[in-house]
Amino acid sequence: MAIVQVSRITNRKGLADNLPQLAGAELGWATDTRRLYIGNGTLDEGAPVVGNTEVLTQFSDILALSTGYTYRGDAAGYTVQTGPSPGSPISQSLQSFFDQQASITDFGAIGDGITDDTDAINRALFQMFCRESNPQIRRSLYFPAGQYLVTDAITIPPYARLYGEGANSSVILSTAVSGNCIKYCDSLGQTDSNIGNNGATPPTNIEISAMGFQTTNPIDIALIQDATFCGFTDVSFDGPLTNSSLTTNANDTSCVRFDSTGVLVCNSISFTRCKFSGATWAFNTDRQVKGVVITESDFDTLYQGILLGVPSPVNGGPTGFRITSNSFDNIYAEAIRVAVNTSLNVSGNNIFYDVGNHFNGVTNPATPVINFFGNDNVSIGDMFERSNIYAIVYPRININRTVSIGFDGASQMQLGTYVRETGIQVALADNSATTLFTIDSTKFPAFIVNYTIVRDVTASTNKWIKTGTFTVTSTVDGSNLLLQFVDDGVENRNTGAALSATENLGIISVICTTSSTGAGGTMTYSITHLA
């Protein structure tokens, strides 16, 4: 480069708005913005344009100065064509590129578990989803790993998408003593009874994933109001309650509670791979709700799991709950309870461990595992840790209405009030009495046993067979229990086997007694009764 001129460097200083056209190589200092500029010179001197060029300093806006960003896709082994031709690539500024996604830290949230992040989170949600109706301002809001302390409800507007680093990594921790940890709002930020007023869009298309919500005080964690087409994936809802405080429903807290108005009905809400614990209920609503799917989730440390329609359903109550492929454990009372006049709900392919035992273990049942009081509810393919001997005392599925159905994957089929137990086979010893089962007469005062007895009394292939029904009824007359039974079995030969029943303190025992024939046998039977 030839030296054109050597002279003393001149400079000017002043406010950025008053910066004049600088001479070639003249410096200009903006005192208010602390930025440095140099004059380009004239076109005759070879400058491509007349003007001032900013010299980069620590106070320069590097993103604004960048000429742009073009996607290259180098990993493909070639430069990807982004425009209509290889020579006309699509370019955008770095600021535009980085603005395609947002972090909650951009709005001042710290996530250190100490700083109150309530205002920062609500500010971010309002600015990105409520301030303007233009969908181009909407961005997925990222929560880096951390514990975000909040002292009031986080209000989540329509079209919001929140995601984090995992349910145990990106956690919103509420220390509020009332209200909710999170709740839905409309496009104007209005909540509760004001949702949808003033032409606002009600909550819709809200997605939350890979995050955790915790409360230090017994309050509802999430309130879903007037919402449609929303989903939670890989989200945990953790309250502070433990077994010692979950022996009653006095705390009245729920991981998720629904609310709907007559016009704005919650519909199409999904929960996938979520966790619910430390509250009175995982779900509790008596409001009109439609199409809730709860799947592949974990329910643990609760008073009851899912409570629908209590105390009484409003506008038809909750319908269309599909509760499938979940795990329930360490639950004081029922895992699922559906109230009278609450219908069209399904439980299927769930696993129920220590449920309905009042935290006293699976050998001490205290309630049914599933309790249907309303019509048109179905349990199918559910599996239970509660064994047959304890299911007789408190059934796995208890149906109190005539048009609900339960298919207990372990022992029984129930169609309304008609219950048919699965077939059971027992070995009969020769010349002995075998107690087949016991049953509580206060719960089942009448039942029928369908049976077939086979005895191998000779070495021949012929079998001595007896088949029929054994009917038992029990009633209380004053202080006396009247127990009656009838065996109407038919046999091809005298099998020497007879059925009888005895009662002690309200417990009926059914017994098969065999005579001495020199060989034992088998008995296959199934119990039928009305619920």
Q: Which has the minimum average pLDDT: 55-69, 163-177, 260-274?
A: 55-69
Question: Does the pLDDT at position 411 exceed 80?
Answer: no
Same domain, 368 and 473: no
Return d(Cα 203, Cα 187) in angstroms, integer. Answer: 7
- Residue 405: what pLDDT? 60
Same domain, 153 and 198: yes
Same domain, 365 and 432: no
Torsion 232-236-238-242 (CA) sign: positive
Question: Does the pLDDT at position 138 exceed 80?
Answer: no
Structural domain including 441 reads 424-530
3-state secondary structure labels for all residues of 405-443: EEEECCCEEEECCEEEECCEEEEECCCCEEEEEEEECCC
In a domain, 67, yes or no: no
- Residue 1: what pLDDT? 40
Q: What is the mean pLDDT of residues 298-302?
A: 98
Same domain, 303 and 358: yes
- Residue 505: what pLDDT? 83
In a domain, 88, yes or no: no
Question: Does the pLDDT at position 149 exceed 90?
Answer: yes
* Of the residues 60, 76, 96, the one at which a domain ends: 60
Return d(Cα 448, Cα 499) in angstroms, integer. Answer: 12
Same domain, 213 and 327: yes
- Residue 56: what pLDDT? 80
Q: What is the mean pLDDT of residues 435-440?
A: 89
CB-count exposure of residue 366 (10 Å: 0-12, 13-18, 19+): middle
CA distances from 148 to 23, 169, 239, 254 (A): 53, 10, 16, 21
- Residue 409: what pLDDT? 55
| pTM summary value | 0.76
In a domain, 133, yes or no: yes
In a domain, 283, yes or no: yes
Confidence at 407, pLDDT banded by 50, 70, 90: low
Confidence at 520, pLDDT banded by 50, 70, 90: confident
Neighbours of 150 (CB within 10 A): 23
Residue, of 36 and 337, whose pLDDT is higher: 337
Question: Does the pLDDT at position 3 exceed 70?
Answer: no
Question: Does the pLDDT at position 422 exceed 80?
Answer: no
- Residue 91: what pLDDT? 81
- Residue 478: what pLDDT? 59
Residue 62 phi, psi (nearest 5): -60, -40
Question: Does the pLDDT at position 285 exceed 90?
Answer: yes
Return d(Cα 197, Cα 186) in angstroms, integer. Answer: 9
Helices (H) and strands (E) in the chain, counts: 4, 41
- Residue 408: what pLDDT? 61
* Of the residues 22, 41, 60, the one at which a domain ends: 60
172-201 tens-digit pLDDT: 999 999 999 999 999 999 999 999 999 999
Return d(Cα 468, Cα 489) in angstroms, integer. Answer: 4
Residue at token pair 């200009």: 28
- Residue 294: what pLDDT? 98
In a domain, 70, yes or no: no
Confidence at 401, pLDDT banded by 50, 70, 90: low
Query: Across all residues in the chain, what is the average pLDDT?
Result: 89
- The enclosing domain of 481 has a CATH number of 2.60.40.1680
**Contact in structure between 281 and 307 (CB atoms under 8 Å):** yes
Same domain, 221 and 290: yes
Q: Which has the minimum average pLDDT: 89-93, 106-110, 160-164, 255-259?
A: 89-93
Return d(Cα 250, Cα 237) in angstroms, integer. Answer: 19
- Residue 68: what pLDDT? 72
In a domain, 437, yes or no: yes
Same domain, 416 and 434: no
Residue 146 phi, psi (nearest 5): 165, 170
- Residue 66: what pLDDT? 62
Question: Does the pLDDT at position 383 exceed 60?
Answer: yes
Same domain, 313 and 173: yes
Residue 336 phi, psi (nearest 5): -135, 130
Neighbours of 28 (CB within 10 A): 24
Same domain, 401 and 512: no
Same domain, 266 and 403: yes
In a domain, 401, yes or no: yes
Question: Does the pLDDT at position 48 exceed 90?
Answer: no
In a domain, 380, yes or no: no
Beta bridge partners of 474: 483
- The enclosing domain of 119 has a CATH number of 2.160.20.10
Same domain, 186 and 295: yes
Same domain, 40 and 173: no
Count up the domains in the chain and report the number: 3
Q: Which has the minimum average pLDDT: 1-5, 225-229, 402-406?
A: 1-5
- Residue 7: what pLDDT? 59
Of 269-278, 409-418, 468-477, the range with the highest mean pLDDT is 269-278
- Residue 156: what pLDDT? 97
Token digits of residue 355: 């449920």
Residues 6+ apart with CB under 8 A from 216: 173, 174, 175, 240
